[in-house]
Structure 1
């Protein structure tokens, strides 16, 4: 351009720049927020000039109106026709900035995903999960294992370990669903839920880990709530036992529920 880019805002708004200067200024406008903001303030003023139609202009021309003023007005009207083009350009420039901000957010998300925070291992449940039964209604009581309490309730406290449990056993077509909660369970340790049938066979139906603070303790008052299932019918079960398993795989009972 023949003069600094920042000086061409008014000339551009009024449409007095030639084609070459117009193109160069629009390239400058795409990266200069100062000029874009100044141009935006001029748009309403130029818009007012658009209300003057061709007939009015012709009438003015046939009067003793200053010819120079008439020429400037005609130029302003023509500039108004470019207003939609200017607004589109401003919107494009704003979109570029917004996209840049979103890209930064996306980059941070990728970084966070690449370094996920450490979490305590959650209890593992057997697969496949038992189907949901929407017909049965159990006794009143707290929900455990993420499900509403259903079935017969059994409470037990081991006199040696002090571990407490509440279990709800519900008869299902696939076998038995067991919702249970544990309290006074110290950690760290690995635990498992074992079904002992009346025919003396056993089945491990769930395993989980207990963090250092345990569950239902002074350090961690919140108890542990889990849900599991077995193919055994309720009438075939003699006992359900929560066991602690050491590093050598040796299990010892923590609390036992007798049916």
Structure 2
């Protein structure tokens, strides 16, 4: 059997032989263990070589007499494999587009890679969903803005002398009472404390804090101060709750009082 017959292995694997050559090669294959073994090893790469046409295979058969033709043939095979990788990349990009239909990602441009151009995915703008307009202006100090409703019994107070404003929420707990509060119009710098005054006239300091120079809920700092504290006193035992300012000598003076308890 001639060398050309052995080179028919690749052409046979790709299915580019005509009927006569196919029958001739199959007769040869039945008696040539070398071609049979070579054909078996080529099965995994048939998919990569399937894009090579018959002319390329003919040129491959001639490379044993023309070394320059071998180089050109190998270059053609490399180019075909590169194109196969590009096709695989295109398939991946298409899958990204399908997934992006749900997540808001779409094809927005073309990126150049060598001589090939491959689509790339970019995020697309979507129309934001907004709530219906309200005729009532929102209070930026309201903790319920944003859908997080504050737990507890609400009490509001504004001191006519100091101008300090507060909103407190009282929640009965097994351990006593939890107090959540906001403070605004509170100038600084100063030191403050939160005092619970019981119905039996006893008092309890349940929190202390420092107010910076800009204060809270002021022109310098529009954000209110938010605190949470607890007392062992039950809800029904509390007469009033007071925010006090402490001077350098430790003397306390009221800033705002919630007394409607």
Give the greater-gyration-radius structure (CA): 2
Report the TM-score when normalising by structure 1.
0.47
Report the TM-score when normalising by structure 2.
0.47
